[in-house]
Amino acid sequence: MQPDNYEHFKTLSEKRYSVRDYADTPVSKQQIEKLLDTVRLAPSAVNRQPWTFIVATEQKIKEQLHGCYSREWFQSAPVYIVICGDHSTSWKRPSDGKDHCDIDIAICTEHLCLAATEMGLGTCWVCNFDARKCADILSLPDHIEPIVIVPIGYAKECSHTPEKNRKPLTELIRWEKY
């Protein structure tokens, strides 16, 4: 990676935060398709790509999804993307059967959040929701699991990116062995 590209990526990573206050500004279908066209390029175990993106923009569906996660801030987002995993197609590690579906979904979700940030959009990972109710609302087949809901929209004006509380690198790195 070229030095300028590295600095841009580091700045993008610093700029991304969990938005919990969205402006009334709509997000166009073209913006969402552009965003998801980038997200589909995310890596996955054995390139299985066990994801499906359910885009909710209609008020009726969004109101039903509010019943899965009833935080007030969540209701202000103009778009929800429910990222679903297909455990029937995801790769399982032969040595212990470890299903990589959730890992693959996490990778593509973070691609979504970073790409949205690059486009000037805000996002937030929502994992603490009623998955069974969400699956019913979206008429998901039994083999498809809603794993994360990502509200997307323009963040209401804020003068700065909120400070991130991160452990120092020295607490996270072990060289050669634990």
Assigned token pair, 127 = 């994992």
Assigned token pair, 37 = 């066209």
Mean pLDDT (whole number) for 142-171: 87
Architecture of domain 15-171: 3-Layer(aba) Sandwich (3.40)
- Of 40, 177, 151, whose CA–CA distance to 104 is shortest? 40
Half-sphere exposure of 151 (CA within 13 A, CB side): 29
- Of 102, 101, 109, 108, whose CA–CA distance to 18 is shortest? 109
User: Would you place residue 3 in the very low, low, confident or very high pLDDT band (cuts 50, 70, 90)?
Assistant: low
- Each residue's pLDDT tens digit, 84-134: 999 999 999 999 999 999 999 999 999 999 999 999 999 999 999 999 999
- Each residue's pLDDT tens digit, 33-43: 999 999 999 99
The pTM of this model reads 0.91
User: Would you place residue 64 in the very low, low, confident or very high pLDDT band (cuts 50, 70, 90)?
Assistant: very high
> Can you give the pLDDT at residue 148?
98
Paired residues of 152 in beta bridges: 79, 123
Q: Please tell me whether residue 14 adopts helix, strand or coil conformation.
A: helix
> What are the structural domain ranges in the chain?
15-171
Q: Alpha helices of 16-142 — where are they, by DSSP H?
A: 29-39, 59-66, 101-118, 131-137
